[in-house]
Amino acid sequence: MKPQSVETSVSSVHLVDDNLLHWVYREGAVVTLREAEEEVAKVASLVTANALESTRLLIDIRRIGSIDRTASKLFSSDHIHDTYGVRALGLITGSRAGVVIGNFYMQVFGPKHPVRLFTGEDAARAWLGTFCE
């Protein structure tokens, strides 16, 4: 049986449907390059085991404690885009102000796949649904 989820020291990632990965951070998670590399390896194994050619990422960062610059840089790299075949990324944040600031940051510094920030899961899922194959 193919694995449907992976657990890391800071998050859990579940394959929700054919190519939607729901990624949830643990309360107060501190993400450095070490944790980011662990996540990348484990999620890549989930993608490979399920023979996913492309993915849509729904990442809930509301409970995260912090993420350092080197981890952010890894997550927004072409390597991640190519390894996961990322079609789109929806980030769930804790506030409307976070969405506005985050969307501006992503437009200027973001990865090559579409990224939007949301305050709720339903809106994020609806937007990600527009990227189904």
Which residue ranges make up each domain of the chain?
5-129
> What SS3 state is found at 87?
strand
Q: Provide the whole-model pTM.
A: 0.89
| Protein fold of 5-129 | Transcription Regulator spoIIAA (3.30.750)
Q: pLDDT tens digits for 65-85? A: 888 889 888 888 888 888 888
Tell me how far apart the alpha carbons of residues 53 and 93 are, in angstroms, rounded to a whole number. 27
- At 89-113, the pLDDT tens digits run 998 988 776 666 566 556 655 677 8
Contacts of 105 (CB under 8 A, 6+ apart): none
- Burial (CB count within 10 angstroms: exposed 0-12, middle 13-18, buried 19+), residue 91: buried
Contact 75, 105 (CB under 8 A): no
**Residues 123, 130: contact at Cβ < 8 Å?**
no
